[in-house]
Amino acid sequence: MRRTQVNLVMRRNRDKQVATQAAASPLCQASDRLKSSWRKSRRAALLAVLLGATSITSVGCSVMDRIKDGPHDTKASYHDDAAMRIEYPEVQQCATAPAEAAQQATEPLALEDPSQVPSFELTLEQAIQLAVQQSPVLRSIGGTVVSNPQGTSTTFDPALAHANPLSGTEAALSAFDAQFSQQLFWSNVDQPQNVAINPVIAAFTPTTLQESHGTYIAELSKQTAQGARFALRHNVDYNHSNRPNRAFRSDFVGFLEAEYRQPLMQGAGTTFNRIAGPNSGIGQYNGVLIARVNEDVALADFEAAVLNLVADVEQAYWDLSLGYRVLEANVKGRDAALQTFQYQQVRLEAGAGRSDEEAQAQSQYYQFRAQVESSLGGPEGLYAREQRLRYLIGLPATDGRLLKPTTTPTDVRVVFDWESALGQALSRRVEIRRQRFNTKRREMELTAARLNRRPRLDFLGKYRFRGLGDKLIGDGDNGEFDNLYGDITGGNFQEWQAGVEMDFPVGLRAASVAVAHATLNLRRERAVLAETELRVSHDLSDAARQIMLTHQLLETNYNRYLADQRQVDVLRRRYRDGTDNINFLLQAQRQVVTSEAEFYRSLTNYNLAIRDFHRQKGSLLAYNQVQLAEGQWAAGAYQDAYETGRHLTPRRNPGNVSVPAPLTTGPFDPSAPQAESFITAPATDAMLESNPPSHPAAKPTEPAAE
């Protein structure tokens, strides 16, 4: 139906446009259709109308309007119906947990009573565990997987970097694999020539050259890490000809050749070939070490994505806990406002109250009722917060249950040791590690560029065994030249060649520019590294400040809440005794709800500030007990690794062996727990001077495990 409507809209605009052009000039009266030569322009105009273009105005007629229709102008084209057809692709989709969760979603909750919905109790540890195990896609609160699927991080990203056929480690190692090539061709010659066998009658009997050719070429070559290239070649040529003066009417000619080419300047050495790769051009760096750095950068990006996921889960978890407390505060305010309103109604009916006070009490009741409804189904309400946490942990949007956080938030004062935290941040932050790898890559590129700024000087050596035979393979009974392989293996015809080749552009301009470019890249990455470390220290300082601030606000808002509770109790008694105005009571009821919500909001912010401090100092994964590990290998990978390891033995005298400089300082586990230096202080006397609210988080708790 939609396709039909689109065609009708296009047809109306087309007819309207043609009618406008025809009315503009008398010359257009006979041209009611567009000509085939500008049919494509017409389609572009119709597409603009379809996409929302305002109008297309045409004044007068062009020369093309005066051309009569051709024989094919009135025929429909297949392209007219198929050009803009919208179709749906056929793909194979596996039944996964996220796909099933998307199909199992029930009707969403909006204003239902949470106490009537079955609850699903969930700890913070369980929420993080579900989030990191449910799907290979690393989710985020914003849900950018729909708008930017290519930018979504997954568990496949490090493996994709490793298996990249252009820049992966295996792709770089393939440059050193042995290469085998062979060719086999047959050809025939039947060519008349102005050559006579009998010179006396040469002018009357020209000859015909008739030949059959066969060529076989095979080569096995190997590139080494030092830049040398070994090659073993075998050539066989078969020729059956009627040429005169031939010992054999058909023969086999061939040779077996070994070649060794070793660069002496440009392209020589293990360092250059491991960085740039063998036979690389100026400014091209695709070696094994560069591929290894690319994989490490991909691992750092994956770790950063996991950190963001864990941080988002904790954010959503404490936001949901806050949503429960805000809803509870608004419900208590609504119930208190309802009692005041009902009491005022009774007084008004008894003749002791005033109608304006009854209206004020009624207005405040509806105000709190609106806040309850908003805190229940609003954009920042309980159900919206619960759905965000559901998405992060991979559950259906709604399944008839309501997630209920059970982890008690921390309210004790936590003071971290600044020197220890700063040292950990500058060594454990994934952003610094990733930038260090980028700097290391630039250092290696500069080394390769300097080594490449040299002339090309190669040593070349060849040794060849030649042969000639009437047959390809024989018993050798007919003596010399009986068969080709017997002649080659006999070693009667041997050749060799040795020398050097030099080739370089005068001035080495391109290589010098590559060195300058690599130098600037290195300086830039070092500057970015220094700036990254400076920014990390500032972020850590801000996170430490937020811990102190949020805990102080936690105490302040707690005392404020207690004071507002006392104020409400006093004003309620005075109002019922008739000694005070209702306005003071209504204002106090609003204040106690606001102060209670602010207290729980401060409690949530304090726990998030602790999370942010761990994130800034690079210990968030260890803080949440999340470990990164490599997945299972393929079935035969373990056996291959075992067999390869049997040929690798440690060096008994490392000092006597010259080895390249190591790429890294050793393994690093970002999820390994660190020795924390912190002090937990109990709640202040101001927080304990009266009974706390009926919530476990408001009471002093044991120090949390950092």
Q: How far apart are CA 635 and CA 27, in angstroms?
A: 79
* Average pLDDT along the chain: 83
Tell me what pLDDT residue 89 has: 85
Is 433:300 a contact under the CB 8 Å cutoff?
A: yes
pLDDT band at 633 (very low <50, low <70, confident <90, very high): confident
Tell me what pLDDT residue 197 has: 60
Tell me what pLDDT residue 200 has: 57
The structure tokens listed for 508 are 């080495």
Over residues 335-364, the pLDDT tens digits come to 999 999 998 888 888 887 788 888 999 999
The residues pairing with 251 across neighbouring beta strands, listed in sequence order, are 239
Q: Is a pLDDT exceeding 70 seen at residue 589? A: yes
Percentage of the chain modeled with pLDDT above 90? 55
Tell me what pLDDT residue 198 has: 61
Over residues 410-422, the pLDDT tens digits come to 999 998 999 999 9
Over residues 9-67, the pLDDT tens digits come to 344 444 444 444 444 444 344 344 434 443 444 444 433 434 444 444 445 566 667 77
Is 265:456 a contact under the CB 8 Å cutoff?
A: yes
192 φ, ψ to 5°? -70, 140
Q: How far apart are CA 250 and CA 368, in angstroms?
A: 108
Token pair 């080594």 is found at 451
Residue spans per domain, the chain: 2-82, 123-152+300-397, 169-285+456-503
Burial class (CB in 10 A: 0-12, 13-18, 19+), 424: buried
Average pLDDT over residues 211-221: 94
More confident residue, 119 or 481: 119
Q: Is a pLDDT exceeding 50 seen at residue 698? A: no
Other C-beta atoms lying within 10 Å of the C-beta of residue 539: 18
For 578-664, where are the alpha helices, taking DSSP H only?
Answer: 582-616, 620-623, 637-645
Average pLDDT over residues 204-229: 88
Give the dihedral of Cα atoms 462, 468, 469, 471; nearest 10 deg. 50
Tell me what pLDDT residue 260 has: 97
Q: Are strands 207-223 and 229-241 parallel, antiparallel or unpaired?
A: antiparallel
Tell me what pLDDT residue 680 has: 57
Q: How far apart are CA 382 and CA 648, in angstroms?
A: 60
Average pLDDT over residues 83-106: 82
Lowest-confidence region among 4-13, 141-150, 510-519:
4-13
Helices (H) and strands (E) in the chain, counts: 19, 10
Q: How far apart are CA 212 and CA 190, in angstroms?
A: 9
Coil, strand or helix: which one is 33?
A: coil
Tell me what pLDDT residue 683 has: 52
The structure tokens listed for 553 are 């606000």
Over residues 421-435, the pLDDT tens digits come to 999 999 999 999 999
The structure tokens listed for 261 are 């080419």
Q: Is a pLDDT exceeding 90 seen at residue 688? A: no
H or E element that contains 120: strand 119-122
More confident residue, 442 or 64: 442
The structure tokens listed for 620 are 């968030």
| 3-class SS shares of the chain: helix, strand, coil, % to 5 | 50, 15, 35
Average pLDDT over residues 109-119: 90
Is 390:102 a contact under the CB 8 Å cutoff?
A: no
Average pLDDT over residues 216-223: 96
Q: Is a pLDDT exceeding 90 seen at residue 472? A: no
The structure tokens listed for 57 are 């105005």
Q: How far apart are CA 663 and CA 443, in angstroms?
A: 11
455: left (phi over 0), alpha (psi -120 to 50) or beta: beta
Query: Three-state secondary structure along 144-193?
Result: CCCCCHHHCCECCHHHHHHCCCCCCHHHHHHHHCCEEEEEEEEEEEEEEE
Over residues 657-673, the pLDDT tens digits come to 676 777 887 778 787 77
Residue 524: half-sphere exposure toward Cβ, Cα within 13 Å:
10
Tell me what pLDDT residue 450 has: 95
pLDDT band at 97 (very low <50, low <70, confident <90, very high): confident
